Amino acid sequence: MNTTNNPALEHIDVTGHRLEYYWSRPRSNGEPVLVFLHEGLGSAALWRNFPAQLSARTGLPALVYSRYGYGGSDVLVGKRSVEYMHQEALEALPALREVLGLDDVILVGHSDGGSISLIHAGAGQWPVRALMLMAPHVFVEDVTIVGIKAAKVAYETTDLLTRIGRHHTDGEATFRGWNDIWLTPAFRDWNIEEFLPGVIAPALVLQGEGDEYGSSLQLEAIAAQTIGPCQTKVIPDCLHSPQRDQPEVALTGMADFVKGA
- pLDDT higher than threshold 90 for residue 130: yes
Digit-coded pLDDT (tens) for 24-61: 999 998 999 999 999 999 999 999 999 999 999 999 99
- pLDDT higher than threshold 60 for residue 103: yes
Instruction: Say which residues have a Cβ less than 8 Å from residue 235's Cβ, sequence separation at least 6.
Output: 206, 207, 208, 209, 242, 245, 246, 249, 250
Angle at 245 (CA atoms; ends 150, 115), nearest 5 degrees:
65
Q: What is the pLDDT of residue 5?
A: 55
Q: What is the pLDDT of residue 7?
A: 84
Domain boundaries, the chain: 10-260
Number of continuous H segments (helices) and E segments (strands) in the chain: 10, 8
The pTM assigned to this predicted structure is 0.96
Q: What is the pLDDT of residue 260?
A: 84
Model confidence at 4, in pLDDT bands (50, 70, 90)? very low
What's the mean pLDDT in 96-106?
A: 98
Question: Alpha carbon of 197 to those of 4, 187, 188, 201: distances in Å?
Answer: 39, 22, 22, 11
Q: What is the pLDDT of residue 6?
A: 72
User: Domain spanning 10-260: which CATH class is it, in words?
Assistant: alpha beta
What's the mean pLDDT in 225-247?
A: 98
Digit-coded pLDDT (tens) for 172-224: 999 999 999 999 999 999 999 999 999 999 999 999 999 999 999 999 999 99
**What whole-number percentage of the chain has pLDDT above 90?**
95
